[in-house]
Amino acid sequence: MVDMLDTAPSMRRLPFSFANRFKLVLETEHPERPPILYYVEPLNPA
């Protein structure tokens, strides 16, 4: 899987707590274009 942080700089600005609790579901079929954010899904508590 490609590291999305390299292609979407705005994701690096997410708060740490947000990054720990949610995952981003992206469309990445076109490498020449930025990924499209479809939705944010909460992670299951472990």
The answer to whether residue 40 scores a pLDDT higher than 50 is yes
Residue 3: DSSP 8-state: -
pLDDT attached to residue 1: 47
What pTM value is reported for the model?
0.28
CA distance 22 to 2: 18
The tally of domains found in the chain comes to 1
The answer to whether residue 14 scores a pLDDT higher than 70 is no
Whole-angstrom CA distances from 21 to 2, 7, 25, 32 are 21, 21, 13, 29
Specify the 3-state DSSP secondary structure of 26: strand
Range of the domain at 30: 4-42
